[in-house]
Amino acid sequence: MATYAVIESSTVENVIVCDSKELAESVTGKTCVEYTDESPAGIGWTYNSTSKIFTSPSPYPSWILNVETNSWEAPTPRPEGGSYIWNEELLSWTEDSSSDSPE
């Protein structure tokens, strides 16, 4: 058994476990692509059929896809030290005040 991403217009619309790609495509009526832990996929991810890579959705609209690493990056680098979270409204990193609260 293998896991397959069910692709519709380059977007993963479902993931299934099936005995073969042929059976997966027969059952779904759509293009299916096997994925692994090394090349994961998930519902809502994008599949690039040329590079054969799955890409997760952007965590924020302003983030940019680094095609070399296939990872999303903030428009500005995260400050070193401390705990920061991305503030999409300000388009910048802000200190994470929740990390200062006692448990």
Q: Average pLDDT per run of 10 along the chain, which is 103 residues long?
A: 97 97 96 94 96 96 95 96 95 84 49
Give pTM, 2 decimals: 0.80
- What's the CA dihedral at 78, 79, 80, 84 to 10 degrees? -80
For residue 99, the model assigns a pLDDT of 59
Could you tell me the two tokens for 3?
């896991």
Give the residue extent of every domain in the chain. 2-57, 58-103
| Spatial CB neighbours of 42, under 8 Å, sequence gap ≥ 6 | 12, 15, 54, 56
For residue 74, the model assigns a pLDDT of 97
For residue 59, the model assigns a pLDDT of 97
* DSSP assignment of 76-96: SPPPSSS-EEEETTTTEEEE-
